[in-house]
């Protein structure tokens, strides 16, 4: 398997929402390359007619009645929120400042 | 009251503790006070507990004692002190998953298994250490503290449920619950000389478990005996509609499985599990197999040709699922937040500051494997290989009833010995396949090395056949187990 380029590592970090420091990116580039190379054995396995496992133990998707169930009171459910106003969670703007031009803010 | 000394209570079995409390030989309060005193005395060096809930445990014990005085019927585990791996959420008691990102989070509800334990009368004495988000094999990835192996404090207790295995071995709780995604109950159990059981996938509800890899995670007991494992499993197993993968299957009376009879039991020895290991571990497994044969079991030599692919398949599937599961830790709803001018920055900085190196590595690996254009080559391929591994087991179980393997290729290793991630991953080489195939597995102590370190024998069984594992495990325990030998490495345990 190919070693990862620095650009690939930066892209993955953005997708993973990890603002890695430059030295972390460098270390990650090396470590992921080693790990992926070690796991290259999978590529050589013939799996042409092998179905991908979806469940280890056979099971069917269960349905339940579409009825209101008891749930946590809002105040309890919001008890761990780092910043809130009343029952609202406060977060910074989702619109990047002008000129930033990244591709990841559409989440 | 009989002369039961509180100082002697720490190594009582789960069943014995409950029975003596029920018989009025000792109170739940005395048990809890003795256990808290012992934790106070030796956990500073051992490092098993992230949080000790002294006040909560005392309050429950007092309530149980007054109920008993009033002849109110009590559950089968009434008064038994249990320590919980810190990935199991506990109402009103901090749950961190040994990660900085969850520092200070107080969950508003109990995990299903915690509800079950409380309903049976067990007392949650505290939360124990583990690798961050259960990712690791030595508990060195905890963001908070190292946990030492009570048999030799210069060595790791295994992982990821290393706080559980150390606390059980050192007599700081009667039993502990851990989680096992690739060996995280069985491997630390082997390293600390205790019993660790990973049930069939779906046997125990995952509701309220901080998720690592959802298609692999299972909760299970770490105990000082096979009988205790049966009793705790019987308590926590069963259908839960809140977990969509929970199996709606009857729960057998596991404690009734321990008949001591293995006559005619066909025990498979898969050759791929005996290729690379320490000589002392090989010798201990040979003694274990011989002991089973002496008691009437038959040995069957087998080959499971896809075994070598379990490690790469696991280390693609588990990180892929982890990268998705851990997306929820973003500084919005719970845990720590690093403020930033816009949302994307806030996510990235919060996660960079909150996660440790191994968690970041696995999130990156998983994100890479799931990325558009790479999915077929990595995640899908790994899931296809998983099918091949499952077929190996299906074929093996046509010829045998249970598989016997070493739990680990080496005994507990020193701190810092596995600095290279791939070396650390190899510590799980014998335990991963079981999770990939969804099977039950158990590790039972089967001797000590010349240096005095525990060795674990692993049994793997058919789906939902925990009964056979417990039955054979109890025979191994009686024949080649540790008996009354206790760790002497910490706190002058004798």
- Using CB atoms and an 8 Å cut-off, which of residues 29-68 of chain A contact chain B? 31-32, 34-36, 38-43, 45, 47, 50-57, 59, 61-62, 64
Res A104 pLDDT > 60? no
Q: Where are the domains of chain B?
A: 11-308+387-480
- Give the model's pLDDT for residue B8: 73
Q: Which CATH architecture has domain A1-44?
A: Orthogonal Bundle (1.10)
Res B215 pLDDT > 90? yes
Model confidence band, residue B268 (pLDDT cutoffs 50, 70, 90)? very high
Active site residue B246: no
pLDDT 10s digits, B166-181? 999 999 999 999 999 9
Q: Span B328-346, mean pLDDT?
A: 95
Task: Report the candidate in B255, B246, B200, B245 with the shortest Cα–Cα distance to residue B223.
Answer: B255
- Name the average pLDDT for chain B: 95
Which pair of structure tokens corresponds to residue A78?
């919001």
CA distance B353 to chain A (A): 9
CA A51 to chain centre: 25
Res B153 pLDDT > 70? yes
- Give the model's pLDDT for residue A98: 66
C-alpha–C-alpha distance, residues B62 and B66, integer Å: 6
Handedness of CA B168, B174, B179, B182 (dihedral sign): positive
Percent of chain B with pLDDT over 70: 98
Q: Span B317-331, mean pLDDT?
A: 97
The predicted complex's ipTM stands at 0.92
- Using CB atoms and an 8 Å cut-off, which of residues 430-489 of chain B contact chain A? 435-439, 463
- Name the average pLDDT for chain A: 86
Contact A79/B at CB under 8 A: yes
CA distance B312 to chain A (A): 5
C-alpha–C-alpha distance, residues B189 and B196, integer Å: 5
Interface test with B, best of A2, A8, A11, A56 (most B CBs within 10 A): A56
Grouping H, G, I as helix, E, B as strand and the rest as coil, residue A35 is helix
- Give the model's pLDDT for residue A97: 64
Strand B175-180 to B123-128 pairing: unpaired
Which pair of structure tokens corresponds to residue B206?
């995952």
Q: Which CATH superfamily is domain B11-308+387-480 in?
A: Amidase signature (AS) domain (3.90.1300.10)
- Give the model's pLDDT for residue B494: 45
Model confidence band, residue B2 (pLDDT cutoffs 50, 70, 90)? very low
- Give the model's pLDDT for residue B492: 56
Contact A7/B at CB under 8 A: no
Res B397 pLDDT > 50? yes
Res B149 pLDDT > 70? yes
Model confidence band, residue A99 (pLDDT cutoffs 50, 70, 90)? low
Q: Span B174-197, mean pLDDT?
A: 98
Res B7 pLDDT > 80? no
- Give the model's pLDDT for residue A56: 82
Q: Span B102-119, mean pLDDT?
A: 97
CA distance B118 to chain A (A): 20
Q: B228-247: buried (b, 16+ CB within 10 Å) or exposed (e) per residue?
A: bbbbbbbbbbbebeebebbb
C-alpha–C-alpha distance, residues B266 and B296, integer Å: 10
Q: Span B63-92, mean pLDDT?
A: 97
Model confidence band, residue B4 (pLDDT cutoffs 50, 70, 90)? very low
Res A19 pLDDT > 70? yes
Grouping H, G, I as helix, E, B as strand and the rest as coil, residue A84 is strand
- Give the model's pLDDT for residue B292: 98
**Inter-chain CB proximity A82 and B385 less than 8 Å:** no
Q: B288-327: buried (b, 16+ CB within 10 Å) or exposed (e) per residue?
A: bbebbeebebeebebebebbebbbbbbbbbbbbbbbbbbe
Res B187 pLDDT > 60? yes
Active-site annotation holder among B99, B137, B160, B323: B160
Res B5 pLDDT > 80? no
Q: Span B64-79, mean pLDDT?
A: 97
- Give the model's pLDDT for residue B44: 97
**Looking at A60-64, B94-98, B322-326, B409-413, which range is the least confident one?**
A60-64
**Looking at A76-80, B288-292, B394-398, which range is the least confident one?**
A76-80
Q: In this predicted model, which residue has the larger pLDDT, A56 or B160?
A: B160
C-alpha–C-alpha distance, residues B142 and A74, integer Å: 32
């Amino acid at each position: 398997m190919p070693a990862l380029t620095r650009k690939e590592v930066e892209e993955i970090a953005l997708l993973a929402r990890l603002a890695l420091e430059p030295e972390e990116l460098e270390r990650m580039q090396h470590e992921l390359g080693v790990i992926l190379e070690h796991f290259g054995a999978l590529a050589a396995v013939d799996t042409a007619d092998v179905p991908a496992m979806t469940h280890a133990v056979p099971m069917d998707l269960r349905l339940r009645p579409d009825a209101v169930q008891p749930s946590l009171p809002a105040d309890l459910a919001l008890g761990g929120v780092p910043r809130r106003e009343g029952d609202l969670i406060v977060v910074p703007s989702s619109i990047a400042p002008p000129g930033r031009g990244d591709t990841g803010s559409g989440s | 009251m009989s002369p039961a000394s509180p100082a002697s209570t720490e190594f009582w079995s789960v069943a014995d503790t409950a029975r003596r409390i029920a018989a009025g030989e000792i109170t739940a309060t005395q048990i809890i006070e003795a256990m808290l005193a012992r934790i106070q005395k030796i956990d500073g060096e051992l490092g098993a507990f992230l949080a000790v809930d002294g006040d909560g445990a005392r309050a429950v014990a007092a309530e149980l004692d007054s109920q008993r005085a009033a002849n109110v019927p009590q559950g089968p585990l009434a008064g038994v002190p249990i320590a919980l791996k810190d990935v199991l959420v506990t109402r009103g008691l901090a749950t961190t998953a040994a990660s900085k990102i969850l520092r200070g989070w107080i969950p508003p509800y109990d995990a299903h298994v915690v509800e079950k334990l409380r309903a049976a009368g067990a007392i949650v004495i505290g939360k124990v250490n583990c690798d961050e988000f259960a990712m690791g094999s030595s508990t060195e990835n905890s963001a908070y503290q190292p946990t030492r192996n009570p048999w030799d404090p210069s060595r790791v207790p295994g992982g990821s449920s290393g706080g559980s295995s150390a606390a059980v071995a050192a007599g700081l709780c009667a039993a502990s619950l851990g989680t096992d995604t690739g060996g995280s109950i069985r491997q630390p159990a082997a390293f600390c000389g205790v019993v660790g059981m990973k049930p069939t996938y779906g046997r125990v509800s995952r509701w309220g478990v901080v998720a690592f890899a959802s298609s692999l995670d299972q909760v299970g007991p770490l105990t000082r005996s096979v009988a205790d494992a049966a009793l705790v499993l019987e308590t926590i197993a069963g259908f839960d509609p809140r977990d969509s993968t929970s199996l709606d299957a009857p729960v057998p009376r596991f404690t009734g499985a321990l008949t001591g009879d293995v006559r005619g039991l066909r025990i498979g020895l898969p050759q791929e599990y005996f290729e690379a290991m320490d000589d002392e571990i090989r010798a201990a497994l040979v003694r274990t197999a011989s002991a089973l044969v002496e008691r009437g079991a038959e040995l069957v030599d087998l080959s499971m040709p896809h075994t070598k692919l379990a490690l790469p398949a696991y280390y693609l599937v588990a990180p892929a699922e982890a990268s998705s599961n851990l997306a929820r830790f973003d500084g919005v709803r719970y845990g720590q937040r690093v403020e930033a001018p816009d949302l994307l920055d806030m996510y990235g900085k919060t996660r960079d500051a909150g996660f440790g190196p191994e968690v970041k590595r696995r999130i990156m690996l998983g994100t890479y494997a799931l990325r558009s254009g790479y999915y077929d080559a990595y995640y899908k391929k790994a899931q296809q290989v998983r099918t091949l591994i499952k077929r190996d087991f299906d074929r093996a179980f046509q010829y045998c009833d249970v598989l016997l393997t070493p739990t680990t290729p080496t005994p507990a290793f020193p701190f810092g010995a596995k600095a290279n991630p791939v070396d650390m991953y190899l510590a799980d080489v014998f335990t991963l396949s079981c999770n990939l195939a969804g099977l039950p597995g158990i590790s039972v102590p089967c001797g000590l090395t010349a240096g005095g370190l525990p060795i674990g024998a692993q049994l793997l069984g058919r789906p939902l056949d925990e009964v056979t594992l417990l039955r054979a495990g109890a025979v191994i325990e009686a024949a080649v187990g540790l008996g009354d030998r206790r760790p002497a490495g910490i706190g002058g345990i004798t």
